[in-house]
Structure 1
């Protein structure tokens, strides 16, 4: 029993000496942030109110997304797909990616895009026919 008490006391002293789990080699330095100076939100005249309204144009509503100029070869490629009965509206980027994959002979990307278009009912063609159309149109249009 006496041996157990001695071991327990030694263990307590050892744990008490450990202190913090982290060691700070430098004394802590307190930092202070200067308060922000703000202008009054209330305008002093009607003229200031109208000038602030004219300046705040960041939240204007837009009616359409500005379109980038599509190179003629890419427009021709998309036109061939559209003429064949593929609904390309909204998926132009994916179709251009598939076309560029056809140039690199990347069949996986072509298959993925063709499969998605068939599943989304953007065409009445079957998978094989659409894959061939994408490949042939790309090779004659954008490659």
Structure 2
């Protein structure tokens, strides 16, 4: 998990306030370590929900927050197969989204812009297990094409003040 924190710190330092970034951890054990984090049970089929991270994500959040000098709020997002489109709510903070299990299409847009994909919108991609997306505070995402149960770990990076 230490290498994941180090890679996130470098990603935020390089991209914070500049633009989104996609991170694939170099350490091959990172995804397994993230999958082993204790998490709440998956909700009933057909239900999409966000659940605050628990004890398993506390160490990750504390260490990342200490290194970035930010408050880090972890949460799990559970998406069911064939979910309707899911959109993030703007929260004024930078954030990361890591796909733990499953996959989905993700389209990024600046807050207030139409997130519909198209030729003029280059920020669409397929996110798969192990991928982490960094989003500046002025961006939101739209998730679609969820064909299997998908679990995301979101980390919201908030100022301490």
The TM-score, its normalising length taken from structure 2, stands at 0.21
Greater C-alpha radius of gyration: 1
Structure with bigger strand share is: 2
Higher relative CO (CA 8 A, sep ≥ 6), structure 1 or 2? 2
TM-score, with normalisation over the residues of structure 1? 0.22
